């Protein structure tokens, strides 16, 4: 057994339990992840980040707790938050499975529908958050079209343009669609969104359930989560969607709107990674011009 003294000591301060051993966990793109074995016998995951933005881990913990409220009524499972501070978050360990069963996918679709149905009081949230390490503005708006334009597309289009990840012509194409969103997006009551629901944030557990991690949670249109799953793929996705619609059918034409709701993650990726994501965002917008 190994023990990283600094990590262990910080976890012990927050949990009030001794840390018996620690082990590094691979896979995190932003934070450093460490598995903890506690004196209680419980396993935990501790995420740390040097010079984390103000409120970074607190926002993650708040999002997980908000989503966990829906778990109690059949919503998607999330790791329990054991502790959160400015420099770290500690979560109950979820033992991953190497298999992705169809039955698990069906259960995930049903649970995601229940989470969305739990709803939100507004489009947005009481506090801003993060997507990756980028700030995520959440000031509420009266309609989904307004919120999506002003809080999700325009800020990241500007940032991508400033970083040279989107050309002037690509920006013009995207802007032309933003101006037409009220006529393109159907209004629905705000859903309880994970907000960053790509395959890497869906953890297939050994317990036979999909657990979602690393949320950018807020109240929004449920097609955002569905579009994110389609953008980056998920095992057995058609069965997930079929099971979802058996609980709560999606609005007519949702498949035709996937590209609209994929503009947001594509622009975020353009800001973070550059490459072809700006061009992909413009191509997606171009289908609606």
Residue 30: per-residue pLDDT: 87
Q: Are residues 61 and 10 in the same domain?
A: yes
Of the residues 87, 196, 207, 214, only one is catalytic, namely 196
CA distance 167 to 266: 14
Give 197's contacts (C-beta < 8 A, 6+ positions apart): 212, 225, 228, 229
Report how many domains make up the chain.
Answer: 2
Cα distances (Å, whole numbers) of residue 267 to 145, 177, 214, 283: 17, 14, 19, 12
CA distance 35 to 19: 10
The beta strand positions in the chain, using DSSP E, are 19-25, 32-38, 43-48, 81-85, 88-92, 129-131, 134-136, 191-193, 202-204, 210-212, 218-220
Single out the residue in 92, 123, 151 at which a domain terminates.
Answer: 92
CATH number, position 125: 3.90.1200.10
Single out the residue in 34, 62, 92 at which a domain terminates.
Answer: 92
Single out the residue in 71, 92, 113 at which a domain terminates.
Answer: 92
Alpha helices (runs of H) in 29-100, residue ranges in sequence order: 56-71
Q: Are residues 87 and 225 in the same domain?
A: no
Residue 79 structural domain: 5-92
Residue 230: per-residue pLDDT: 97
Q: Are residues 210 and 126 in the same domain?
A: yes
Q: Are residues 116 and 59 in the same domain?
A: no
CATH number, position 54: 3.30.200.20
Q: Is residue 97 a part of any domain in this protein?
A: no
Residue 1: per-residue pLDDT: 55
Our CA angle for 36, 132, 193, nearest 5°, is 95
Q: Are residues 209 and 188 in the same domain?
A: yes
Q: Are residues 87 and 130 in the same domain?
A: no
- Give pLDDT < 70 ranges for the chain: 1
Concerning whether 54 is annotated as a catalytic residue, the answer is: no
Q: Are residues 165 and 282 in the same domain?
A: yes
Q: Are residues 55 and 159 in the same domain?
A: no
Question: What's the pLDDT tens digit per position in 125-159?
Answer: 999 999 999 999 999 999 999 999 999 999 999 99
């Amino acid at each position: 057994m190994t023990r990283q003294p600094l990590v262990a000591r910080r976890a012990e301060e927050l949990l009030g339990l001794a840390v018996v051993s620690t082990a590094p966990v691979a896979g995190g793109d932003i934070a450093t992840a460490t598995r903890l074995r506690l004196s209680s016998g419980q396993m935990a995951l501790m995420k740390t980040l040097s010079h984390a933005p103000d409120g970074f881990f607190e926002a993650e913990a708040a999002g997980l707790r908000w989503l966990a409220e829906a778990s109690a009524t059949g919503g998607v499972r999330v790791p329990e938050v054991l502790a959160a501070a400015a420099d770290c978050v500690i979560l109950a360990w979820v033992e991953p499975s190497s298999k992705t069963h169809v039955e698990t996918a069906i259960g995930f679709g049903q649970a995601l529908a229940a989470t969305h149905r739990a709803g939100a009081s507004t489009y947005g949230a009481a506090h801003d958050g993060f997507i990756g390490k980028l700030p995520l503005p959440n000031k509420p708006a009266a309609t989904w079209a307004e919120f999506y334009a002003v809080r999700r597309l325009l800020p990241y289009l500007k940032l991508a343009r400033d970083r040279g990840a989107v050309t002037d012509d690509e920006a013009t194409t995207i802007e032309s669609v933003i101006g037409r969103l009220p006529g393109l997006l159907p209004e629905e009551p705000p859903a309880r969104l994970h907000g960053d629901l790509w395959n890497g944030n869906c953890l297939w557990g050994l317990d036979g359930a999909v657990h979602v991690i690393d949320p950018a949670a807020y109240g929004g249109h449920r097609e955002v989560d569905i579009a994110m799953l389609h953008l980056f793929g998920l095992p057995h996705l058609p069965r997930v969607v079929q099971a979802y619609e058996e609980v709560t059918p999606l609005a007519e034409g949702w498949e035709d709107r996937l590209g609209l709701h994929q503009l947001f993650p594509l622009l975020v990726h353009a800001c973070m990674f550059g490459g072809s994501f700006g061009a992909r965002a413009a191509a997606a917008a171009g289908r609606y011009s």
